[in-house]
Structure 1
């Protein structure tokens, strides 16, 4: 992973697939790059290093609840769903062995005081989720006070992060605020998925 202003050559060619909030994409093609822009949202990049298949998701956790069953509330179950969906897709298309997975995490920035540091809650959630499931994070670029663009090559596992200027960050804030105000709740059937 590099923090730089110019793209490494391998990210400057091939097919680029944008990963928007709520998306989960997986590929084994050597010419595919997944791209996303994050504010307080989180993207996980998961790759089976033996099968050379990987994917990226993108999710926002809008609020925390005091529920004993789920201390992050219904919106966090969306985050759990997003993580389980990505991991399951990579396992299914890969070797099926959890030990072969590499996991990289990005995002969780505090880019606007109105969002009540959703980014920090997102970071806490995703770290705890992965720890509870027995996964180790290979690398991460989390937190900070800026938006970031993340590029990920699922075949090679390489990731590239670019910190974005305040104009782009302001646009990301507007989008995240609109989503947080809607507070979309996932049906329980989608939230209760087990990893295999």
Structure 2
């Protein structure tokens, strides 16, 4: 994983698919790159090393519940759905073996004080989710006070992170603040998702 400003050659060609908040994309094509810009949001990149298929999601826990037993309320159900959806898609299109998965996590920056450090809550959530499911992140770039662009090659599993300047970060913060104010959380489906 690199943090410099020039792209490695493999990220500079092929098909780039933007992953927006709420999205989950999976591919095994060697020429595909997934791209997203994160502020306090989290993006997980999950890859089946044997099948050479991988995917990326992008989610935000928009609100915190006051309940001790459901600390993040509906937001956590959405975060769990976003993680389970990505893992299940990679498993079902790959070997189906959890042991073959490699997981990288990104985001959770504190880029706007009005968001009450949603980024830290997102980081805590994704770490707890992975621990509860028995996964360990192969690599991560979390926290900080900046937005970041993440590029991920699902076929090879390579990830590239570029920290963005404060102007871009301010725009990302504005978008996330609008989402948090509307408390827009895409509801998880009523059916439980079973991890296999």
Same-fold status (TM-score > 0.5): yes
Q: Does 1:29 align with 2:14?
A: no
Supply the RMSD in Å over aligned alpha carbons: 1.2
SS of the residue corresponding to residue 189 of structure 1 reads coil
Q: 1:193 to 1:146 in 2, by over 3 A?
A: same
Normalising by the residue count of structure 1, what TM-score does the alignment of the two structures yield? 0.97
Find the aligned partners of 1:50 and 1:174 in 2 and give their Cα distance: 40
Find the aligned partners of 1:188 and 1:81 in 2 and give their Cα distance: 6
The residue number in structure 2 matching 1:65 is: 65
Q: 1:190 to 1:17 in 2, by over 3 A?
A: farther
1:188 is displaced (CA, Å) by 5.5
Normalising by the residue count of structure 2, what TM-score does the alignment of the two structures yield? 0.97
* Runs of 5+ consecutive residues of structure 1 not aligned to the other structure: none
* Runs of 5+ consecutive residues of structure 2 not aligned to the other structure: none
Question: How do 1:10-25 residues align onto structure 2 when only pairs under 5 Å count?
Answer: 10-25=10-25
Asked whether the 8 Å contact 1:25–1:57 carries over to 2, the reply is: yes
Q: How many residues get paired? A: 196
Find the aligned partners of 1:168 and 1:193 in 2 and give their Cα distance: 36
Find the aligned partners of 2:63 and 2:191 in 1 and give their Cα distance: 16
Find the aligned partners of 1:190 and 1:76 in 2 and give their Cα distance: 14
Q: Does 1:178 align with 2:166?
A: no
